[in-house]
Each structure stands twice: as C-alpha cells, then as structure tokens.
Homo-oligomer: A and B are copies of this chain.
Amino acid sequence: MKDVYKIREDFPILSKKINGSDLVYFDNAATSQTPTHVIQKIVEYYENHNSNIHRGLHSLSADATNQYESSRKKIQNHFGIKNDYEVIFTSGTTHGINIVSSGLESQIGSSDELIVSEMEHHSNIVPWQILCEKTGAKLRVIPMKDNGSIDIEAFKKMLNNNVKFVFVNHVSNSLGTINPIKEIIDLSHKNKTKVLIDGAQGAAHFKINLSEIDVDYYVASAHKLCGPTGVGFLYGKSELLEELPPYQGGGEMISSVTFEKTEYADLPHKFEAGTPNISGVIGFGAAIDYMNNIGFDNIEAHEQELLKYATDRLNKTPGIKIYGDQVNKISVISFNLSNHHPSDIGSILDQFGIAVRTGQHCTQPIMDYYKIPGTVRVSLSFYNTKSEIDLLIDALEKASTMLG
C-alpha cells in the first residue's frame, strides 16, 4: 500500500484538532471519512454539471446523466454485477432493505417463514418485523454463539419448505465478524430460499463479486466506503427486481401516466422515483475509484495488521474485555473496560481527541445476548495507524485511573 501517512493527506479531516489533540478517528464503521478526490468531484458537479438528469436534452443534463450513469457502471464493475440495470441507487442501506421488504408484501403469506440472525443491525430486523406483522409470516432468528459468530448448525436445522427468505449481514457492525455468506447462500438456495445480504459493513473492507457468490439481493451505503452521505445501492437479480412492485410513485419511474392507467418504467428507473441524489451518486462513483486506486488487497492487509496490533495491545490492558471472536473479522473491536459504562469511556476518550462509538450500535439483540448495556467500539480503517492505537491505549489507561 501507498504509505499510510501519504494516504492520510488525502483526507483533510484527519489533520483536525479535537479538544486540543489530533483527531484519532476510530468510528469508521459508523461512517468513513471522505477523501479530497470525492469532495472535489462533488464540487466539480455543482460548479460544472449540475442539472436534472434523464429527461433533459440540453448539454448540462446530458453531462449530468452521463456522470450519473457512469457511477452505475462503476458499481456494476466493482461488484461483479451482470447488468447495469440491476444496480438501483438508494439513499442508503436502510432504504435498500426497505425497498425489498415493502415489495415482498404481496409475495409473502402467513405460512411463510423469514430468517434473520441474532446479530443484525436494526435496519435488517425492523423492516422484516413490519413485513411479518403485515403478512402474518413468522420471523425466526438464527442464534449467535459466544464467539460472536452465527450458529450455522442451528441455521441448517431451521431451513424448511416454508422459509422464503434469509437476511444476514455480510459483516457484523458491532463485532466485526465476517459471516460465512457463501455457505449461507448455498444452503439457502438448495432449500429454494432467497437471500438478502446486508453489505453495509462488508463492502468497505474487501472486494466482493456478487455474481460469483450468487446472492439474490445485496445492499450497501456509500458513506461507509469513503463516499458521500445519502446514497447507496441495492443490487437485485433482474428477475427478482422485475417481480417487485415499485417502492415509490413519482417522476422518472413511470413510462406513461393517465388517470386511467399508469405504466411503470423499466429497471432501474422503476425504483428511482423522483430526482435522485445526483451529486451523491457521482461522489459514490468517485469513492469506488479512489478505493480501487488504493487497492482492496492493500486495504485488507493494512487493516488486518492494525486489527492484530490493536487486539494484542487491548488484551494486555488490564480490565479490557473484548466481545466476539478474535479471528475471521474485520478491523472492528467491541469491548468494555472493567465495569465502567461505555459512555463514560467514550466521553473521556473524546477529551483526548479519540472518536469511538459507544452504546448498542443499533444491535440491541447482541447487547441482550451478552447482557451488557453496550460496548466501546473501535473501528479501524486503512488510513489509521499503529501510533493512533498507542494513543488509544494510553487514553484508556488514563480513563481507567480517572474512573477508579
């Protein structure tokens, strides 16, 4: 990988001071930072190409449309997707999941079963609860194990003829666990069960080929992979997307409107009603370029090195308890320090300029599983350094002393 200190120069925010100290940004699983390359693409859009897309035939509109559609191609290529119209731009992972969950209403009946895991983000639980409430279907939960992994044996036993869908995250945002999605997909497909993978955390950390893993739906958010806020994508196999009703009514998603009869447009437009987040989509494309330029192999290698270093140092710090497994995970570490409340730790770390997330991380069931109010979560990115980890360890020791 390019020298990490060189890479850090691409991120203006990383040279910021917080409470008098250098910012140590360890909250990457919540949102990643944005490189100048992406910021500049957004600026360039507003300064040179800003225009509503698709319907206009003037040059600006053509420019904007081209850039927007070329982001779709970038995402198609990056994720190994067969057809560009299988990439639906959304406002984020949550939106993507909701397109599917609300669309399935007419396809799911009261004898059907849907399966989620115990370690899902609320965004991958609540929509299915709502779907079950509306349809009478049953929501079943794959238990997790103490090491923070999905109980795959239990999952195998849960599969039966009634199971229509399985919803699992690629990577747990709370624990960092990389789930065996290929295995889950294969088992499910053998059972004629479709699978949606929540890729909010996975997409940012390694390159994944969606055609190869043969997943049915996959969702992610740009803001977790160096892109802007308010944009993400839903991938779906075209035959499945065709069957889903449109999520929203509006402009762009129709081919003809009369008061007697309205016809919907083809994919992907059917799901992109209204003026989309054009600058966001263009910024998303730029982020994909940026990260590929760094190289996902390099990203993974550096992050794994940081993970190992941080885990070792934390394990040696008195009072630290790490939750979940310590292998086969991305660079996310959830822990507590003695019996101090995570918010106390977080507040004190913030005084040292260290940004971590504390609380339940939108995964209340995981916290219930471990019977804790929450954790301190350190999530490391390819632009973080070992010396930042040293600062964290120092600060944790000081916090420990202060809290007594």
What is the CA–CA distance of A248 and B51 in the complex, to the nearest angstrom? 29
CB neighbours of A126 from chain B (8 A): 249-250, 253-254, 257, 262, 273
Q: When each residue 86-108 of chain A gets 1 if its CB lies under 8 Å from chain B and 0 otherwise, what string results? A: 00000111110110011000000
Known contacts: A50-B31, A129-B249, A277-B230. The answer to whether A59 contacts B18 by CB under 8 A is yes
State the majority secondary structure of interface residues on A: mixed
Residue of B nearest to A347 (CB): B57
- Contact check: which of B92, B127, B250, B258 meets A364 at CB < 8 Å? B258
Q: Are A355 and B230 in contact (CB under 8 A)?
A: no
Q: Are A59 and B275 in contact (CB under 8 A)?
A: no
CB neighbours of A247 from chain B (8 A): 98
| Interface: A371 (CB within 8 A) | no
Residue of B nearest to A99 (CB): B248
- Contact check: which of B19, B61, B274 meets A91 at CB < 8 Å? B274
What is the CA–CA distance of A43 and B42 in the complex, to the nearest angstrom? 9
- Contact check: which of B42, B50, B259, B346 meets A139 at CB < 8 Å? B259
Known contacts: A47-B12, A48-B16, A365-B258. The answer to whether A25 contacts B127 by CB under 8 A is no
| Interface: A125 (CB within 8 A) | yes
Q: In the complex, how many angstroms separate the beta carbon of A365 from the nearest chain B beta carbon?
A: 7
What is the CA–CA distance of A92 and B279 in the complex, to the nearest angstrom? 14
Q: In the complex, how many angstroms separate the beta carbon of A84 from the nearest chain B beta carbon?
A: 20
What is the CA–CA distance of A231 and B279 in the complex, to the nearest angstrom? 11
CB neighbours of A280 from chain B (8 A): 229-230, 277, 280
What is the CA–CA distance of A382 and B127 in the complex, to the nearest angstrom? 44
| Interface: A358 (CB within 8 A) | yes
| Interface: A141 (CB within 8 A) | yes
| Interface: A164 (CB within 8 A) | no
Q: Are B23 and A60 in contact (CB under 8 A)?
A: yes
Q: Are B249 and A48 in contact (CB under 8 A)?
A: no
| Interface: A56 (CB within 8 A) | yes
Known contacts: A12-B47, A23-B60, A27-B61. The answer to whether A229 contacts B279 by CB under 8 A is yes
Residue in A249, A254, A350 whose Cβ sees the most chain B Cβ within 10 Å: A249
CB neighbours of A176 from chain B (8 A): none
| Interface: A356 (CB within 8 A) | yes
| Interface: A170 (CB within 8 A) | no
Q: When each residue 28-66 of chain A gets 1 if its CB lies under 8 Å from chain B and 0 otherwise, what string results? A: 001101100011001100111111100111111100000
What is the CA–CA distance of A128 and B256 in the complex, to the nearest angstrom? 15
What is the CA–CA distance of A257 and B18 in the complex, to the nearest angstrom? 33
Known contacts: A126-B249, A254-B122, A274-B92. The answer to whether A50 contacts B34 by CB under 8 A is yes
| Interface: A373 (CB within 8 A) | no
Q: Are A350 and B229 in contact (CB under 8 A)?
A: no
Q: Which of A5-19 contact B (CB under 8 A)?
A: 12-13, 16, 18-19
| Interface: A171 (CB within 8 A) | no
Q: Are A123 and B249 in contact (CB under 8 A)?
A: yes
Known contacts: A25-B60, A30-B51. The answer to whether A46 contacts B13 by CB under 8 A is yes
- Contact check: which of B46, B52, B276 meets A30 at CB < 8 Å? B52
Interfacial residues, chain A to chain B (CB-CB below 8 A): 12-13, 16, 18-19, 23, 25, 27, 30-31, 33-34, 38-39, 42-43, 46-52, 55-61, 91-95, 97-98, 101-102, 121-123, 125-130, 139, 141, 221, 223, 228-231, 247-254, 256-259, 262, 273-280, 343, 346-347, 349-350, 353-359, 362, 364-365, 368
Q: 29 A-B contacts, Cβ less than 8 Å apart?
A: A12-B46, A12-B48, A13-B50, A27-B51, A27-B56, A30-B55, A38-B46, A39-B43, A56-B355, A58-B346, A58-B356, A60-B355, A91-B230, A91-B276, A94-B249, A97-B249, A98-B273, A122-B254, A125-B262, A126-B253, A127-B250, A128-B249, A129-B249, A139-B259, A221-B275, A229-B278, A229-B279, A230-B277, A230-B280
